[in-house]
Amino acid sequence: MMNEELHTIAAELKERFAADLYEFRGEVSLILKPEDIVAFSRALRDEYDFELLTEETAVDYWPEQTPRFHVVYRWRSLKRNTIIGARVLLDGNSPSMPSIVKVYLNANGFERELWDMFGICFEEHPDLRRIMMPADWVGHPLRKDYPLGYEEVQFTFNFDEIDQRKPYAKE
Amino acid sequence: MDIDLETNLPPDALDGMQHLVSDRAVRGETVLLNMGPQHPSTHGVLRLLLELDGEVVVNCVPDIGFLHTGIEKNMEAKTYLKAEVMTDRLDYLNNLGNNLTYVMAIEKLADLDVPPRAQAIRVLLTELQRIASHLVWLGTHALDAAAMSVFLYCFRERERILDIFEMVSGQRMMTTYFRPGGLWRDVTSGFEAAVRDFVSYFPPRVTEYDRLLTKNPIFLRRTKEIGYLEPEVALRHGVTGPMLRAAGIEFDLRKAQPYSGYELYDFDVPTHTDSDTYARYLMRMEEMRQSIRIVEQALNKLPLGPVRSNNRKYVPPPRSELGTSMEAVIHHFKLWTEGFIPPKGSVYVATESPRGELGVFLESDGGPKPYRVHWRTPSFTNIQILPILARGHLVADLVLLIGTVDILLGDVDR
């Protein structure tokens, strides 16, 4: 692969956005500030021919709070036949960052999924609804402080107490 | 239920979705119709909220999540090896392709070597899997266009492929046959004969489907110039796979960034410029022919040798060693209780699934369980193009458009 070309691009972008660069197993990623992400993706699309947004996902580092979330991006260039990644670090339990839907339209689905699964809010997203879980679901399942499953066992002495907080339609 | 007599809608019908339909729907001038989730031609449990003007689709809002199984969350709670079993359940027509993507991610993370025989068998089986997946697609696509017999023929051939999978892995669909560092075990003695039999049996069958559909006037009228997708729009929406190639953009990961030894085989990547339902049909037919070419080549030069890496920190020792080597017993015990521990870091690996770019993002925190697994599935991205394809077409054509995107709800919802 054209690794040198990728390294030049990454170095240029690192300079321009004052980002950190890291590499693992040949994959190059930049660590960006949340407010830079729209300008960054626009530069990738218009100046460096990264036509496809390959994925956008997140990792939760709970119980760490600063940063708690990494939003992970990956773009693919068909022309240069390469991939470049980026990470945006977000603090706190109800983070918020700019959306890149206007630059890459398929970010719509990815960002809806991130809102649904991690509770990361994307400003100016046109359609930020839950995508996988039902609309009235409480909580964000892929967060690390969200339990994997298991229902609380109701005994006769605490049946009503547990029933009150069980998430099902009552009446 | 109360229905508003002015608009003919229940009061909460558009809860939070007003911005996705036109003003005419809110005023009650167009009809809102739910298609699915229980509908035979949505290929699973996809719900579409349709706004119709007569029979013409004005807006189409896909609603997914009915098959959400929380596989990503579940994988975080299992060791790397146990989590592999769940990969079969994602895209249930591309089980071996999912296995391959996942084990390749672990191999990249851990820097594991894979012997050439295992590589060749992986390619061979995933290409058979591609044919099986395309056969299901072709059968159901034809069924959507009311051609029942093609469906029966396709499933007859698919059964032969599943028999081969059962022969090597013990399972027809949920194989978990590829393991980090190689394969579960070597192929059985009847494998080569069975594949050779299939290689000679299958090409005439494709010609048969060709004769049934390619020049069939009914099929032509149902598919030609239906669902045109512009290449720029496709790129901007991140569409990959046969959908993108039918729009004239030659992008196939098997050629662009060969993995698992695809560079050793001689095959073509078909492209088309019409970018309609018919072009996508032709593309996938040609892909089946190319896949059988790869299978034949892989079979002819199947190397001999081991099928598993010798790295004992990741790959369990052979059974025969357990009686003689204390070290082997320790490795065996550690691997089946705690599991292996790859280094800290994150990787992204992508393969070409029958539907497009299937990627897995794997992050390890230096423990025996994956810290985060994200599946970048082609269907999830491709389904978002459906509203653009459907706009202005008839409801009857929408059924074919769902087929032409070739979504699989297990792949969409994960």
What count of residues does chain A have?
Answer: 171
What residues does each domain of chain B span?
A: 1-66+379-414, 71-310+340-376
**Which residue in B357, B363, B414 is closest to A59 by CB distance?**
B363
Which is nearest to B220 in space by CA: B287, B279, B151?
Answer: B279
What average pLDDT does range B333-342 have in this prediction? 90
User: What confidence tier does B161 reach under pLDDT thresholds 50, 70, 90?
Assistant: very high
User: What confidence tier does B8 reach under pLDDT thresholds 50, 70, 90?
Assistant: low
- Which of chain A's residues have a Cβ under 8 Å away from the Cβ of B238? 52-54, 104-106
Q: What Rg value do the Cα atoms of chain B yield, rounded?
A: 23
- Which of chain A's residues have a Cβ under 8 Å away from the Cβ of B108? 25
| Beta-bridge mates of residue B359 | B350, B376
CB contact under 8 A, A132 and B413: yes
In this predicted structure, the answer to whether residue B274 has a pLDDT above a threshold of 60 is yes
In this predicted structure, the answer to whether residue B373 has a pLDDT above a threshold of 90 is yes
According to the model, what pLDDT value does residue A154 have?
A: 80
**Which residue in A53, A85, A141 is closest to B70 by CB distance?**
A141
Greatest Cα-to-Cα distance within chain A, rounded to the nearest angstrom:
68
According to the model, what pLDDT value does residue A158 have?
A: 86
Residues 123..152 of B with a Cβ closer than 8 Å to A: which? none
Report the Cα B82 to chain-centroid distance in Å.
21
CB contact under 8 A, A54 and B65: no
According to the model, what pLDDT value does residue A133 have?
A: 87
According to the model, what pLDDT value does residue A1 have?
A: 47
**Full-model pTM:** 0.89
According to the model, what pLDDT value does residue B10 have?
A: 59
According to the model, what pLDDT value does residue B391 have?
A: 87
By the 8 A CB rule, do B199 and B297 touch?
no
- Which of chain B's residues have a Cβ under 8 Å away from the Cβ of A59? 346, 363, 371-372
In this predicted structure, the answer to whether residue B127 has a pLDDT above a threshold of 50 is yes
| B77 at A interface, C-beta within 8 A | yes
According to the model, what pLDDT value does residue B358 have?
A: 92
User: What confidence tier does B295 reach under pLDDT thresholds 50, 70, 90?
Assistant: very high
d(CA B184, CA B125): 13
State pLDDT tens for residues B382-413.
998 888 888 888 988 888 888 888 888 888 88
**Which residue in A25, A59, A81 is closest to B257 by CB distance?**
A81
Looking at this predicted complex, what is its ipTM?
Answer: 0.85
CB contact under 8 A, B376 and A55: yes
What average pLDDT does range B175-188 have in this prediction? 90
Strands A82-90 and A27-32: parallel
According to the model, what pLDDT value does residue B1 have?
A: 47
According to the model, what pLDDT value does residue A19 have?
A: 83
Report which of residues A149 and B231 the model is more confident about. B231
Q: Which helix (H) or strand (E) holds A70?
A: strand A69-77
What residues does each domain of chain A span?
A: 3-164
At the topology level, CATH places domain B1-66+379-414 in Enolase-like; domain 1 (3.30.390)
Q: Which amino acid is at B124?
A: L
Instruction: Kindly report the average pLDDT of chain B as a whole number.
Output: 88
Report which of residues B6 and B111 the model is more confident about. B111
At the topology level, CATH places domain A3-164 in Beta Polymerase; domain 2 (3.30.460)
SS3 B195: helix
Report the Cα B385 to chain-centroid distance in Å.
17
Q: What Rg value do the Cα atoms of chain A yield, rounded?
A: 20
Rounded to whole angstroms, what are the CA distances from B290 to B70, B81, B387? 35, 32, 31
State pLDDT tens for residues B275-289.
889 999 999 999 999
State pLDDT tens for residues B84-107.
999 988 888 899 999 999 999 999
Count of A-B CB contacts under 8 Å? 94
In this predicted structure, the answer to whether residue B41 has a pLDDT above a threshold of 80 is no
| B357 at A interface, C-beta within 8 A | yes
Q: Which two tokens stand for residue B306?
A: 């081991």
In this predicted structure, the answer to whether residue B264 has a pLDDT above a threshold of 60 is yes
Q: Which two tokens stand for residue A14?
A: 């690192």
According to the model, what pLDDT value does residue A59 have?
A: 93
What average pLDDT does range B236-241 have in this prediction? 90
pLDDT > 70 fraction of chain A, expressed in percent and rounded: 95
- The architecture of the domain spanning B71-310+340-376 is Orthogonal Bundle (1.10)
